[in-house]
Amino acid sequence: MSPCTDAIVIGAGPVGLFQVFQLGLLGLKAELIDVLPEAGGQCVALYPEKPIYDVPGVPVCTGRELTRQLLAQAAPFLPPDADTGRPCNLHLGHLVSEVSALPEGGYRVATAQGLVRRARALFIAAGAGAFVPKTLALPGLDAAPNVHHHLPDGTPPGWVGRHLIVSGGGDEALQAVIDIAGTNASHRPARLSLLHRRDQFQADPALDAAVRTLIAQGQVDLIVGMPSASQISPQGTLSALDLLGADGQTRTQPLDHLLIRQGMSPKLGALTQWGMALERKQVAVSPSTFESSLPQVYAVGDINTYPGKKRLLLCGFHEATLAAHAAAAALRPDAPQHLLYTTTSPLLHERLGLL
């Protein structure tokens, strides 16, 4: 039987990370699941280096910096695995595909990647939905092992010493080109190309200028054309793209690896089939507990709706706090519900690892 915990949090964006922290303060253990390969949600996936100005007490920070701080804050409740050093209850790259109620109470959660967990309470902190990469609408790409959508997590990528094409003309693609060009030789491709439908980008001017410099220096090749067909080898790998040029001619562009960086798209997916009341593709909740129409299923952050809802990061943190307290009261109805403060409570200091 799959392991059982107090809570499962779906979504490792800022609100999901803070949800784990609040649950931990209340003595509730949580498992955290996210479809993206790194924590941070849309703050990291969509605007990792853009400034955020409305986090209380933090005059300015980037999405990536905020994620680092939230991970550090939640660290007492994200224990590291003895072998990998990574949090053993943080499951990245997992798309939740099924949620079902258990006869004894609580819920069974399964992912498309084979992870199965049981919990007494469920917290949905999925932002606008599960963020999945936008891809090229060409046959065979989804199954090709040399087609990628994310940068590696520190391990040497498969494109080392090969020809890598980065597809896209926005911030995500240009930042990826800059990052890859700046890595050490052990992680760098032998040839790096940027593919876009035209010689004009829709990106931050600073990123545009940096990539133009790399192109002028010969560190990056610019390939202009619209992918019209894919050539898949007998082994199932992508060997080349057919590109339609502005002159109406099609030419074949060989490659070893393709990194598609064309942004992310939020999708509700299986969430619409879990039996919760939805309003305009958002989970309807009680504003006092943030519980959905299903018992012990809470929704916090941009995924929920209620009268007066404001889709602000600050509001998501507030919702996560109240939802954690509501869940603690529901899961431990006989325990006293005292409000404790991190400044003075020895119990909270113990849970935070300060004693």
Specify whether 310 is located in the same domain as 211.
no
Cβ partners under 8 Å of residue 127, min gap 6: 11, 13, 15, 41, 42, 266, 301, 302, 303
Distance of CA 352 to the CA centre of its chain: 25
Q: What pLDDT was estimated at residue 142?
A: 84
Specify whether 201 is located in the same domain as 344.
no
CA distance 100 to 126: 18
Specify whether 197 is located in the same domain as 163.
yes
Q: What pLDDT was estimated at residue 49?
A: 78
Q: What pLDDT was estimated at residue 271?
A: 79
The pTM (predicted TM-score) of the whole model is 0.78
CATH number at residue 81: 3.50.50.60
Range of the domain at 169: 135-262
Which of these three, 210, 227, 262, is where a domain ends?
262
CA distance 355 to 346: 8
Whole-angstrom Cα Rg for the chain:
23
Specify whether 164 is located in the same domain as 283.
no
Which of these three, 262, 297, 328, is where a domain ends?
262
Mean pLDDT, 10 residues at a time, the chain of 355 residues: 86 96 97 91 79 93 94 96 90 91 93 94 84 82 89 80 95 91 90 95 92 96 95 94 92 96 74 86 94 96 95 96 97 91 96 93
Specify whether 108 is located in the same domain as 144.
no
Specify whether 55 is located in the same domain as 162.
no
Specify whether 191 is located in the same domain as 230.
yes
Q: How many domains does the chain have?
A: 2
Specify whether 145 is located in the same domain as 243.
yes
Q: What pLDDT was estimated at residue 137?
A: 85
Which of these three, 262, 294, 324, is where a domain ends?
262
